[in-house]
Amino acid sequence: MVTTLSLALVQKAKGRRRHVLEAGPRFAPEPPPKDGDMVITGGPKQLARRKVPRWAPDGGSDPLVADRGRGGELDVISEEVYPGDGRCYRVVYDLGIGIRKEPNIGAKRTGEDLLPGECFEIKKEIRRAGRRYFELLDGRGWVFDWTEVDGERVELVELAAQLYTVAFPDGVNGIAWSSDATMRFSTVNGFTNEVEATNLAQAGIRTGDVLVMIDQDPVVGMPFGQVLERIWATAGRQPGSGYFYKVTTETPYGIGIRDEPDINGPRTGEDLIRGAVFEVDEMVEVEDDITYLHLADQRGWVFDNSAKEPDTPCVINLAEIEPGCTLTMWRGEVDELAKTIGLRFKQDGNEGQPFTLTVLEEGEPIQRVPCAPGSNLRKTLLANGFQVYQDLRSVFNCNAQQLCGTCVLDVMEGDGNLTVRSVNEAAVMSANPPSFRLCCNIDVYGDITVRLRPRGVKYGGGTS
């Protein structure tokens, strides 16, 4: 999708040139690509051997698992082998499935089992003698698809979901995206034209598929708007009303945001960390070869180059980055993705240990409560007896859509351990300090300290 941009020279005085970036259509149409303009490779069949994370939970060990109908001579006849294609299966047999060392129903067991309801991703499938054997992607062994109980065939698994990766050498284009109500996932809503629909369908993408990763980088927990920015920025196609830049400075603290276009100007207290992507709606060039960039979200100004290290750019325009990226998609229910896969991105490395939620409340002693990884912040606070709502709740309540602003709290430490702001939250809280968050739809992925019901919350220009 190509966004139309026009630069108007507004000011040229005292060695400064000011450019204002005018808004163009966010979903600007574009002509169908010519032959060779976009080459898509991959999809479920083409990229099946790409290494992807294992997200299925570990199985238990119950001796009462499917163990009937052991194989015989038929298992040595011809077989067909298929790649896993990112397929995930769910155990539907009430007693679970015993994991085998070899693709044979009579093979020795490993001592581990897949429990009822457990989802697993497969590396390979072997079809032999009317039965399918699945090699687990995590290397634990093999399971099979059905068994015989009292002379009846009983299915052991069902297709739960499919994970696949599509490569876009020339950048992402042609997909119309949408998001779920909580802004946590971006899904394929359709295609921009018939040519793109044909190409993307051949690559394996279907309407309703969920975006999971960009270039192997998880995007679960990222609001819809930022997902689109990252996709288009990778392709050199910028949405919205300006340019997109990425912070490249080597300093550990990133770039400090200023109140005005001056490298010595007062800081706002916020920083853009290395790797952050931000949108610019105005630029000011000065004679000392420094260009000041105004953040489109109105947080302030940053500079593109440091006077101390002029040969090391602080930022890079994403239009200058070589296009091309890979999208990893999930075919299945969003709720299943959240429960089975999504939270494991953030939990890797902490082994599921609870985090510490430190709560400050006016007139009350400091309290600390445990919080499980990925837990909803509001629900955790309410479950521990805290009152999170402002008095306005009796008048306004948006049903956890981050629209009414009644569940504001002040995140004093650990904001980086929370789900990033959704489009709704960013709009509702735009007039407030960056530490003010709406807790109804954000999840916890680390230790945090919050102050309940802060004073001075601004609602539509007013103040509580």
CATH number, residue 90: 2.30.30.40
Domain's final residue, options 111, 137, 163: 163
- The answer to whether residue 288 is domain-embedded is no
Q: How many Cβ atoms from other residues are within 10 Å of residue 130's Cβ? A: 9
- The answer to whether residue 453 is domain-embedded is yes
Domain that holds residue 360: 349-463
- The answer to whether residue 200 is domain-embedded is no
- The answer to whether residue 331 is domain-embedded is no
- The answer to whether residue 458 is domain-embedded is yes
pLDDT of residue 101: 96
- The answer to whether residue 353 is domain-embedded is yes
Domain's final residue, options 133, 163, 193: 163
Indicate which CATH number applies to the domain containing 368.
3.10.20.30
What distance in Å separates the CA atoms of residue 98 and residue 152, rounded to the nearest whole number? Answer: 19
367-375 own/partner pairs: CB under 8 Å, 24+ apart: 371/444, 373/343, 373/346, 373/347, 373/444, 373/445, 374/342, 374/343, 374/346, 374/347, 374/443, 374/444, 374/445, 375/443, 375/444
Contact indicator for 325, 214 with CB cutoff of 8 Å: yes
- The answer to whether residue 203 is domain-embedded is no
Of 318, 185, 147, which Cα lies nearest the Cα of 242? Answer: 318
Residue found by looking up tokens 């207290």 in the block:
269
Given a cut of 50, is residue 237 above it in pLDDT?
Answer: no
Given a cut of 70, is residue 256 above it in pLDDT?
Answer: yes
Domain count, the chain: 2
The first and second tokens of residue 327, run together, are: 């999208």
Mean pLDDT for all residues in the chain: 71
pLDDT of residue 194: 85
Contact indicator for 3, 239 with CB cutoff of 8 Å: yes
- The answer to whether residue 372 is domain-embedded is yes
Residue pLDDT, tens place only, 346-400: 444 445 578 899 999 888 888 999 988 778 888 899 888 888 886 654 445 555 5
Mean pLDDT lowest among 51-55, 168-172, 426-430, 457-461: 51-55
Q: Is 400 left (phi over 0), alpha (psi -120 to 50) or beta?
A: left
Neighbour-count burial of 457, counting CB atoms closer than 10 A to its CB (0-12 exposed, 13-18 middle, 19+ buried):
buried
Residue pLDDT, tens place only, 448-461: 999 988 888 876 54
What distance in Å separates the CA atoms of residue 367 and residue 381, rounded to the nearest whole number? Answer: 11
Confidence grade of residue 222 (pLDDT, cut at 50, 70, 90): low
Burial annotation 285-297 (CB, 10 A radius, 16+ → b, else e):
bbeeebbbbbbbe
Residue pLDDT, tens place only, 412-453: 888 877 876 766 677 777 778 888 888 887 888 788 999 988
Domain's final residue, options 132, 163, 194: 163
Mean pLDDT lowest among 58-67, 100-109, 335-344, 397-406: 58-67
